[in-house]
Chain A
Amino acid sequence: MQAETRRFLVAGAIASALLAAALLTGCRTASTRASAAPDAALKTFLSTAEAAEISALPDGPGKTLVSTRCLLCHGAALITQQRKDAAAWGRTVTQMRTWGTPIQDDDQAVLVAYLTEHFGPDARR
């Protein structure tokens, strides 16, 4: 086995171990592709993408709710790229609750206020 290939396999094995520890659902390593050769530059690019999305979340009373509820299923950019008023955010949060996101009534008000303040119709892009 060539050294380069071996290196990628080792990297793949490490990534797989981390994956197994971190992600119980939704994101599993395709073992048949374990010998894939990751491009370091794009790997870095992608790896910073979600971190940048999360860091783009402004501080506020709803931030923890976003992190612990909304981000269960999707990244932060799906939120931060939207511009909606309180009624529209309310509909979105209600739909997400219907779709299984664990949000209590009290939390919904905090969440909608946070989303509307930072990602309302007049917020900067």
Chain B
Amino acid sequence: MSDRIISRREALTVALAAVGTLVRPARAAEILFGARQAGAGAGVGGSRLVIQNARPLDAEAPIEALRTFETNNDLFFVRSHLPLPEIATPWTLTIDGEVARPITLPLDEIRRMRAEHRSVTIECAGNGRSRFELPATSGVQWQFGAVSTATWTGVPLATLLERAGVQTSALHFWMEGADRAPMAATPRFIRSLPRETALGEAFVAYEMNGQPLPLLHGGPLRLIVPRWYGMASTKWLTHVHAHATESDNHFMVRGYRYADGSPVDLMRVKSLITAPREGERVAGRTIRVTGVAWTGTGTVAHVEISSDGGRTWQPTRFTTDPRPGAWRLWEADLAIGSTGEQRVRVRAGDSAGHIQPERTPPNPGGYGNNSIQEVRFSAS
């Protein structure tokens, strides 16, 4: 890198310090809202995204925004590895590599194909990382809110791959988005999907809860991979490269790996209490406990709560149906024995037989923390 460039970038930093605080977030807000959602961002009860990093933007949903099946677009968590890309017009998706006919499809053409609507819960693989006790943590220190659900509109990736004449030699599909790091030497964010997933549940989405896909959420076009942690659902999707081998990108080989080297892929079964909130004061002899539960293996089969530190558990009732890849809402009435400090825990299990552990074994990357959650509140 030449001195001239360094000096220009340094000047840029000074400029950022001076006006960046006015400019960059304003743009983020502008993109977040969209003209079609005037007044959005105020969200549920005036709540707002909880910002973990301002640049690139990493922000979690406020817990009260997760009390509905679909999360408001403005309160859906945001994870960005790299700065927001410039949006090309027209937006195109290119499919090449181990295919008979490489194709480049304009977004308009994808929009004219038969659309499907799918409700999918996305959880960041690092959600709950801050709850791990790690000697040297790394990554965004998420609490509980890097999870949200939307109904996405798009077309199956398989439909597009078949149009390109995907060959039997194509075993891994490398997903490339338009986002780039400021430094050319920084790795791109490339993830690859195995053939069975790419030709199975994966689809490309251009609408989110009936709105054009917002830029912060990967618009105008992103991948959605149901049941997988969010890193698989590539935002700002521009290319799908069909390969014989898995991607050797940093975020495949070094990032998103558990302690034993196995890849982070399907979401672990997990539940979250959305009411009462931590520290809330409630009145009455019986209180309503509500929450959500999700899994990447099968569907959520049972959710229980405990008010005695996990010695005894009581069942909850579901208020939504089981759907693979989407969370279920649940509720329960909890009897309050005495006033003062209360604790309630939640534990979910799925149809594949997985159940949340008391404490998920930590891993250096801080991934997949599905430890049982406990909320402390007080009753009067």
Contacts and interface: CB of A to CB of B under 8 A. Distances in A.
Interface of A: 12, 15, 18-19, 21-30, 32-33, 35-39, 41-43, 45-51, 53-54, 67-68, 71-75, 77-78, 81-85, 87-88, 92, 98-102, 121
Contacts of B34: 33, 36
B33 A99 contact: no
A73 B179 CA distance: 13
B199 to A, nearest CB: 33
Contact of A39 (B12, B41, B54, B187): B41
B29 A43 contact: yes
Contact of A72 (B24, B182, B184, B187): B182
B13 A67 contact: yes
Interface in B84-132: 84, 86-87, 89
8 smallest beta-carbon distances between A and B, as pairs: A100-B183, A46-B25, A100-B185, A26-B83, A42-B41, A50-B54, A75-B55, A88-B136
Contacts of B182: 25-26, 72-73
Contacts of B32: 42
A27 B24 contact: yes
B217 interface: no
Contacts of A98: 185
A37 B38 contact: yes
Contacts of B181: 73, 99-100
Contact of B53 (A43, A75, A88): A75
Nearest to A78: B53
Contacts, number: 177
B30 A12 contact: yes
Contact of B27 (A27, A37, A45): A27
A81 B23 contact: no
Contacts of B283: none
B20 A81 contact: no
Interface of B: 1, 6, 8-10, 12-13, 15-35, 38-42, 48, 51-56, 83-84, 86-87, 89, 135-138, 140-141, 180-187, 215
Nearest to B28: A46
A27 B55 CA distance: 10
Contacts of B28: 46
Given A73-B181, A74-B56, A30 B215 contact: yes
5 contacts: A22-B18, A26-B182, A36-B35, A46-B51, A71-B13
A99 B81 CA distance: 14
Given A27-B83, A33-B34, A71-B13, A47 B25 contact: yes
A15 B28 CA distance: 11
Given A27-B83, A49-B54, A75-B54, A38 B33 contact: yes
Contacts of B29: 38-39, 42-43, 46
Given A25-B182, A68-B10, A85-B135, A77 B27 contact: no
B55 A121 contact: no
Contacts of A29: 27, 30
A39 B22 contact: no
A84 B138 contact: yes
Contacts of A41: 41-42, 48
A15 B215 CA distance: 18
Given A15-B26, A39-B41, A42-B29, A48 B137 contact: no
A30 B23 contact: no
Contact of B1 (A51, A73, A77, A100): A100
A66 to B, nearest CB: 10
B136 A21 contact: no
Given A53-B54, A68-B13, A73-B182, A18 B87 contact: no
Contact of B55 (A22, A74, A83, A88): A74
B89 to A, nearest CB: 7
Contacts of B33: 36-39, 42
B96 to A, nearest CB: 27
A43 B25 contact: yes
A47 B137 contact: no
Given A22-B12, A45-B48, A100-B183, A85 B40 contact: no
A21 B24 CA distance: 12
Given A81-B141, A85-B136, A48 B185 contact: no
Contacts of A27: 23-24, 27, 83-84
Contact of B186 (A38, A43, A73): A73
